[in-house]
């Protein structure tokens, strides 16, 4: 196993951006940049040993910064925060004080605002251990950045081992009571982009999901039984899409409020034989089948578009701060925030 650091590119302002490459002894390679803590690439072998990148991303920094990409921004591979997912009307009350955040997704706040952690520069430190390699990324988020209270220090540690486990661990501490909900927004396509994800098969252990209106939870938690949201027995993502004009984009309830490391589900694809298993300490997982992913022209070639990737975003529920019966997202001084997710890559 090894980890290396190289220059990924420079921003328009001349800021140098790093790329960290993690590789194990099984030909699994994961690339991560300190811009947005973005996973740019996950290369794994298929059932015939053919190596392909199974994550939606770019080989050059300039593509992440291009107006074409940012104009219909799908958050490829990044860490979303201070609060991922949506907050109703961008408003919440904390310790009796009202806060107003950017409204950047219809009438709501999404993924931390106009410049969330996905567009910040993190400091990186390589990890080289006997059992794993990785990179520890650190970010200081100042008081009232994007409207959130409290100076907060965040770490996101990516590790890869010879069990083909990509670990993502978050920690955070604050000097003032605040809210925090972190996720990684990698989109998977187990064919390496040769086909869309409608024939991918998904299994989720979740028996319930958040009822929503216009993507905001109503507060009700409903059974998946008899709905298109039932993945208790694995099925193709495209099987029930005719009932969902914009595909899947909702949070599934994992019944894991104690924060244990639990199996959440698996994504597989028959022609490649690839499978990704998801384990997490988080109480929820957002399934997003990428209806709004834009079609982009990269180096003269058309790439991506609707259903070109599927995101399995482990998280606390959307709009939790405004739903007192949801798992809490508040963090007070002296409290430790710690969440971990593991994606395990293999072949059937």
The answer to the question of residue 209 being in a domain is no
**Average pLDDT over every residue of 163-177:** 98
Supply the pLDDT for residue 252: 98
- Is 325 part of the annotated catalytic residue set? no
Residue 55 burial by CB count (10 A; 0-12/13-18/19+): exposed, middle or buried?
buried
Residue 48 lies in domain:
2-193+286-347
Residues 6+ apart with CB under 8 A from 145: 82
pLDDT at 301: 92
Residue 302 lies in a domain: yes
- Give pLDDT tens digits for 204-216: 999 999 999 999 9
Question: From CA 347, how far away is CA 324, in angstroms rounded?
Answer: 41
Residue 72, domain CATH = 2.70.98.10
Determine, yes or no, domain membership for 166: yes
Measured between alpha carbons, how far is 53 from 67 in angstroms, rounded to an integer? 24
Phi first, then psi: give them for residue 68, nearest 5 degrees: -60, -45
What is the per-residue pLDDT for 150?
98
Residue 182: per-residue pLDDT: 98
For residue 228, tell me if it sits in a domain: no
So what's the pLDDT on residue 205?
98
| Burial of 91 per CB tally in 10 Å (0-12, 13-18, 19+) | middle
Q: Which of 185, 277, 316, 339 is catalytic?
A: 185
Q: What's the pLDDT at 69?
A: 96
Predicted model pTM: 0.98
Catalytic residue among 146, 201, 203, 313: 313
Q: What's the total number of domains in the chain?
A: 1
Known catalytic residue: 200?
Answer: no
Tell me what pLDDT residue 53 has.
Answer: 98
93 in a structural domain: yes
% of the chain at pLDDT higher than 70: 100
pLDDT, tens only, 263-318:
999 999 999 999 999 999 999 999 999 999 999 999 999 999 999 999 999 999 99
Q: Which residues pair with 51 in a beta bridge?
A: 45
Note the pLDDT of residue 339: 98
Overall residue count recorded for the chain in this entry:
348
Is residue 101, in this structure, part of any structural domain at all?
A: yes
Per-residue pLDDT of 146-165, as tens digits, reads 999 999 999 999 999 999 99
Task: List the beta bridge partners of residue 42.
Answer: 30
Between strands 79-80 and 183-184, the pairing is: antiparallel
pLDDT tens digit sequence for 1-60: 999 999 999 999 999 999 999 999 999 999 999 999 999 999 999 999 999 999 999 999
Domain membership of residue 12 (yes or no) is yes
Asked whether residue 255 is domain-assigned, the answer is no
Instruction: Give per-residue pLDDT as tens, 79-120.
Output: 999 999 999 999 999 999 999 999 999 999 999 999 999 999
- Cβ atoms 169, 247 nearer than 8 A: no
pLDDT of residue 39: 99
């Amino acid at each position: 196993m090894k980890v290396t650091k190289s220059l990924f590119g420079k921003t328009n302002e001349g800021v140098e951006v790093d790329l960290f490459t993690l590789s194990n002894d099984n030909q699994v390679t994961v690339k991560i940049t300190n811009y947005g803590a973005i996973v740019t690439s996950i290369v794994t072998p298929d059932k015939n040993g053919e190596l392909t990148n199974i994550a939606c991303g770019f080989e050059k920094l300039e593509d992440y910064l291009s107006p074409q990409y940012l104009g219909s921004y799908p958050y490829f591979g990044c860490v979303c925060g201070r609060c991922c997912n949506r907050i109703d009307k961008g408003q919440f009350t904390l310790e009796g004080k009202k806060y107003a955040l950017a409204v950047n997704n219809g009438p709501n706040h999404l993924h931390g605002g106009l410049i969330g952690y996905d567009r910040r520069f993190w400091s990186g430190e390589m990890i080289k251990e006997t059992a794993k390699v990785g990179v520890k990324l650190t970010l200081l988020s100042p008081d009232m950045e994007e409207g959130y209270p409290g100076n907060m220090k965040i770490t996101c540690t990516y590790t890869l081992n010879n069990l083909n486990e990509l670990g993502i661990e978050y920690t955070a501490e604050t000097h003032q009571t605040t809210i925090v909900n972190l996720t990684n927004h990698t989109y998977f396509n187990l064919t390496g982009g040769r086909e869309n994800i409608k024939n991918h098969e998904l299994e989720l252990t979740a028996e319930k999901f958040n009822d929503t209106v216009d993507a905001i939870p109503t507060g009700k938690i409903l059974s998946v039984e008899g709905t298109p949201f039932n993945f208790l027995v694995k099925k193709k993502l495209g099987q029930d899409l005719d009932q969902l004009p914009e595909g899947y984009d909702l949070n599934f309830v994992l019944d894991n409020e104690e924060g244990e490391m639990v199996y959440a589900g698996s994504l597989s694809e028959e022609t490649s034989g690839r499978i990704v298993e998801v384990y997490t300490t988080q109480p929820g997982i957002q399934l997003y089948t990428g209806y709004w992913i834009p079609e982009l022209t990269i180096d003269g070639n058309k790439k991506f578009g609707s259903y070109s990737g599927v995101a399995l975003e482990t998280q606390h529920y959307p709009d939790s701060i405004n739903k007192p019966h949801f798992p809490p997202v508040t963090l007070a001084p002296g409290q430790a925030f710690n969440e971990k997710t593991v994606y395990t890559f293999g072949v059937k």
